[in-house]
Chains A and B, each alone.
Chain A
Amino acid sequence: MNVSLILIILLVGAFATFLAGDKLASKVALFFGLAAAGASIVLLNHYNLGENISFINQWITQPNISFALRADGLSMAMLLLTTVLTPIIIFSSFGNDYKNSKSFYALLLFMSFAMAGTFLASDGLLYYIFWELSLIPIYFIALIWGNGDVEERKKAVVKFFIYTLAGSLFMLVAFVYMYQKAGSLLLEDLYKLNLTANEQLWIFLAFFLAYAIKIPLIPFHTWQANVYQKAPTVGTMLLSGIMLKMGLYSVIRWQLPLAPLAAKEYMYIFIGLGITGVIYGSIVALKQKDLKKLLAYSSLAHVGLIAAGTYTLTLDGLRGAVLQMIAHGFVVVGLFYAAEIIFRRYETRAIAEMGGIRTQSPKFTSMFMILVLASVALPTTFNFIGEFTVLYSLSQINIWFAILGGTTIILGAYYMLKMFQHAMLGETNSKAFTDVTVNEGITLVLIIGVLFFFGMYPKPITDLITPSLEEILTQINRIN
């Protein structure tokens, strides 16, 4: 049994969903999503027992490319994030009616397949292929099933596509360049390369362009808010919950170990960019009138902090970043889902048009409150652990980074609670707000459960990721 099983389940699932027809599509998709989640938990067990669950096979002889899927703790953690969130996201869409839903759910599973592949691939080209492949389904999901004016949506989505493609093509050039030197693109072969400081800088920058656009970091973030707003909520969840993490994961897996000299030399600049993102995102979020846009900018602030954590090149920074990646994945899916629940009833995303929900639906209000508090890193939630570890590692580098980065919690609390106050409390909106349905309740409770469980007991995840992060750190420190 090895990790290729997950990919096969998701890919077969995508085809089966397409063939199942419009009526059954969502249920078939959910079934395969759950199957993949189950399989990854079983695989995690095998992995924890010390079995080898990697899969390596020669794919192309000339150029020398392998179909290499390597599972270590970090990959497994990200794989679990993908496979657990996928069924939650599918389930969350059950209240909606999509035209041509067989294509919609097939694309959704296909995207999950590509993202899982990205997290597992340990051959540069294979990784690149999965990375690009994940772009196509989200392009169509956002384009065809998105909301708002068609022309505006088209502009936003095409901009997103061209931006990300442009960034990743430079990453491809970097890979091709390294292939000339190493004769293979397997990660362990690339580790053995002795690149000069100058070469490393260019490779670092080529990777940076790809990742900074995907994450997104300032000043490459301009596609984000519009796409989040225009995409259907399911697409937004996929983008913010999992796809962003592809960029952050790749920084840890590929960029830092392959070009450590550049990462050390220019550490302050990249941490600075991350922190700028935190402050900029928070300030812009303060001004937002659209709930989805507010969440998009808050997401920008949070990932800025995570990116800053990775660029500290310390074990704490990397560990905190990975923990926060997972925590943010769950909380952001929950928040976008809450926005969707409000939209289903009020048909609006403007915060000003909401209000008074608390008196009508106390259950929903309390769940939303927990999510809001989790996103501003309240102690006992998972996000607190992640954010706190990252801030600690930043303070080790320079105390000012930690102080400036800490504004995410203060400003975050301010704009999130202000939003909560306007949306949920106050005067009752003229429209009635029916209480959450069972499906909606289950989804939210699941997410909240995960956030609390790991908030109080993060050890399983820390134990899982720490050995592989240490291994990556030894690679980073191999040249000084």
Chain B
Amino acid sequence: MNTLIAIIGLGVLCLLFEIFNLRKAIVPITILGLLGVLGLTISEFNSTESYYNNMIVVSKFSSTFSSLFIVLTIFLVALGHNFYENHQSKISDYIAIKIFLLAGAVAMVSFGNLAMFFLGIEVLSIALYILAASDRMNLKSNEAGMKYFLMGSFASGIILFGICLIYGAMGSFDVTEISELSQSAELPVWFPIGIVLVTIGMLFKVAAVPFHFWAPDVYEGSPALTTALMSTLAKVVAMATLYKLLSVMNADVSESFKMVVVIISMASMTVGNIMALRQTNVKRMLAFSGVSHAGFMLMTLLTLSTSAGSLLYYASAYSLSGIAAFSVILYVCKNRDNEDIVNFHGLGKTNPLLAAILTAALLSMAGIPIFAGFFAKLVLFSQTIQEGYLALVIVAVVNSIISVGYYFKLILAMYTKEPNEERKGTPVIIYAVAVIAIVLNIALGLFPSLVLDLLA
């Protein structure tokens, strides 16, 4: 709860900075503030408390995921310093919106009431719509914002409809009550239908097949930093929320539900990977790769009672490598009108450090050992085999192999092609973010217990 209040306070402070003309100080102070909030969240780690008639429930689950979101936001805000160089007059708006987005994210994992859940998801989504369209003079960015807004509000409507049906069936918005009632033998038919509708809405937010069509266009059109935010923070927030939502409603007791999860997970991995093979735009490629990672993360929904730790681990591994990859993309594609692979030609010669970092990030996403991505997949596979879904694991393994194909396309472009032009300047912050993110990723790979045991 304190986390949420502190975040919102920080967001308001950001807006005030504009008034007092302190634009230069905004990024460092926001980062310091977020670090303070992170400390606050960690200090509350072991407490379980509920506030305002169970509107907000702080638990281990919520505080660990909130910490992850805060860390990611710190990275994204830091990258903003460089990215918004030419938009100084708007910088406080952009940063403040990100902070409010974080508030929505924290609300989404610590809700104790479906109304609060919906509030959180709307705060997050509206902030994302604005950020997607934030490059006002760019036609593509406008298109992306509009597309995302139309599709997203449709999904929100479906979620709301689902919540209504659940309320109709259970007579309450409170998740503890719903959780208790859902264990009874006789359930009204509206309840499962409600779950299905809410799940559909959330699958839209995580961009899982067949609700992924918005992702490539929106990712491509949005400003690169917003794409970074969508593919790392927004995706893991939505995934964690979906996980929490389904686990409080005991959705995994139904065999047919598990069947649907298996099919959607397989479809997301396969479609995402096969489509990614053919992309030449790096943002689109990562959009499809994100679809396939969503498929991997959906595997945790098969073992709702035990897999919170592995979801946290997968989410951290994926989002940290995403941050590292995107900071390199921000550097390479600054002042370019597109993010085609051509821009990455010869990066291994002109800038070996950033090329090595991008390589490491992609290897982590592909699941090569020593990077966290490998252990994330390993733990996931292990859990899924234990539940008896060997076929799903084999499909996942085949998909890991396919994914190597397109990740290596980018690596090959960096190391075997000749550079087409020199890039000037060495933005320290981009370097710092990329290095810290990849070091954290490798540290998680070397000591997986650090994160895995948090929610064991």
Contact = CB atoms under 8 A, between A and B. Distances in A.
Given A62-B449, A158-B408, A176 B382 contact: yes
A62 B453 contact: yes
Contact of A154 (B386, B401, B404, B412): B412
Contact of B368 (A63, A132, A173, A177): A132
B393 interface: yes
Nearest to B363: A136
Interface residues of A, number: 30
Nearest to B384: A176
A62 B307 CA distance: 12
Q: Summarize A's interface: helix, strand, loop or mixed.
A: helix
B40 interface: no
Given A161-B408, A176-B382, A62 B397 contact: no
B126 to A, nearest CB: 39
A48 B45 CA distance: 53
Contacts of B394: 173
Residues of B contacting A: mostly = helix
A169 B400 contact: yes
Contacts of A150: 416
Contact of A177 (B363, B385, B404): B385
Contacts of B404: 161-162, 165
A60 B309 CA distance: 14
Nearest to B366: A165
B393 A144 contact: no
Interface in A101-136: 103, 125, 128-129, 132-133, 135-136
A445 B453 CA distance: 55
Nearest to A130: B369
A143 B416 contact: yes
A158 B447 CA distance: 30
A180 B385 contact: yes
B382 A179 contact: yes
B415 interface: yes
A170 interface: yes
A96 interface: no
Contacts of B456: 62
A143 B382 contact: no
B416 A154 contact: yes
B344 to A, nearest CB: 15
A176 B394 CA distance: 12
Contacts of B400: 169
B79 interface: no
Nearest to A202: B390
A173 B386 contact: no
Contacts of A60: 447-449, 452
Given A133-B370, A140-B415, 5 more contacts: A60-B448, A63-B379, A103-B352, A172-B381, A173-B397
19 contacts: A60-B447, A61-B453, A62-B449, A103-B352, A132-B374, A133-B370, A136-B363, A150-B416, A162-B401, A162-B404, A162-B408, A170-B397, A172-B397, A173-B393, A173-B394, A176-B393, A177-B385, A177-B390, A179-B382
